[in-house]
């Protein structure tokens, strides 16, 4: 008889789901860049969170009363605000930078997660991982190029956004030991939607059919991407799918070239390669560590 694969023993399915989630998020970033050229970026951020909240609430409706209960209201608030900060600054950076450039800098967030896990969660942080963190920071500086004529202060926006996203992931780890992942998904969307709903009236522009379509698509892709990423870890270990995060950089480069005619310069490719290599090196050390 053929053994039936257990949920955590289907890495192929997990990787496919994870890459589908990455594709959704990268495409969402593309649409956010397009929409932010038509309306204020605050409206774009609101669309992302409001859309995800509606879709997640409908999905969880039969169990919403149970899922909405959290053991960590304070941590969930800080966690959600960290994600909102990361999303807001990254979307804002897209109004100034190319997709691939912003994504490459944002991809430093796994390095910040490694550093934060050592500082705040007590995880191991040896000299090899320290080398990986320093190398990734060098890669980010290669892209940002402070002190040169091509330097743009906006390049620091995705760098700061990466710290927000890293904080979100670290707090997700913290509450994830005994918190339903659906609860974390709900609060990440809901609190962002509440905050942006308070702010967005001050920047509101009446959207036309094109803008409405983009807003709906951004909300749907954000929700779908999150659901794919959550489902992915049901079928494969996080360590098995982590390296595929960097596929998002390639997708961003392709979308940027096809839609905006943005072709990353040599420094962006070199810096991005250093960041990716550093992330993969740290991932390797994570797997090799006892």
* pLDDT tens string 178-235: 788 888 889 989 999 999 999 999 999 999 999 999 999 999 998 888 888 877 867 7
Within a domain: residue 119?
yes
Candidate ranges 126-135, 165-174, 223-232, 248-257; pick with highest mean pLDDT? 248-257
Within a domain: residue 2?
no
**In 10 A of CB 199, how many CB atoms?**
14
Within a domain: residue 3?
no
pLDDT of res. 290: 52
Give the C-alpha separation, 188 to 85, whole Å.
12
Average pLDDT over residues 123-131: 75
Residue range of the domain that includes 247: 9-288
Q: Is the pLDDT of residue 1 over 50?
A: no
Within a domain: residue 261?
yes
**In 10 A of CB 69, how many CB atoms?**
10
Within a domain: residue 17?
yes
Give the C-alpha separation, 101 to 87, whole Å.
16
Structural domain count, the chain: 1
pLDDT of res. 40: 94
């Amino acid at each position: 008889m053929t053994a039936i694969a257990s949920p955590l023993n289907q890495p192929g399915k997990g990787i496919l789901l994870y890459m589908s989630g990455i594709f959704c998020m990268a495409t969402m970033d593309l649409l956010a860049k397009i929409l932010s050229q038509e309306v204020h970026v605050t409206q774009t951020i609101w669309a992302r969170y409001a859309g995800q909240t509606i879709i997640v609430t409908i999905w969880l409706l039969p169990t919403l009363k149970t899922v909405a209960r959290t053991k960590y209201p304070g941590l969930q608030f800080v966690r959600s605000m960290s994600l909102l900060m990361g999303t807001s600054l990254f979307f804002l950076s897209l109004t100034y930078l190319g997709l691939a450039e912003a994504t490459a800098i944002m991809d430093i967030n796994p390095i910040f997660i490694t550093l934060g896990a050592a500082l705040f969660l007590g995880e191991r942080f040896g000299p090899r991982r320290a080398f990986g963190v320093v190398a990734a920071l060098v890669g980010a500086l290669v892209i940002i190029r402070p002190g040169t004529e091509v330097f743009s202060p906006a390049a620091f926006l995705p760098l700061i956004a990466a710290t927000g996203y890293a904080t979100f992931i670290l707090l997700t780890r913290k509450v994830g030991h005994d918190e339903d992942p659906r609860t974390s998904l709900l609060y990440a969307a809901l609190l962002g939607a509440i905050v942006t709903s308070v702010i967005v009236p001050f920047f509101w522009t009446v959207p036309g059919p094109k803008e409405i379509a983009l807003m709906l698509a951004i909300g749907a892709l954000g929700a779908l991407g999150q659901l794919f990423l959550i489902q992915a870890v049901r079928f494969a270990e996080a360590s098995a799918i982590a390296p595929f995060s960097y596929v998002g950089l390639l997708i961003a480069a392709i979308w940027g070239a096809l839609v905006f005619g943005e072709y990353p310069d040599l420094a962006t490719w070199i810096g991005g390669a250093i960041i990716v290599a550093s992330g993969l090196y740290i991932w390797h050390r994570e797997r090799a560590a006892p």
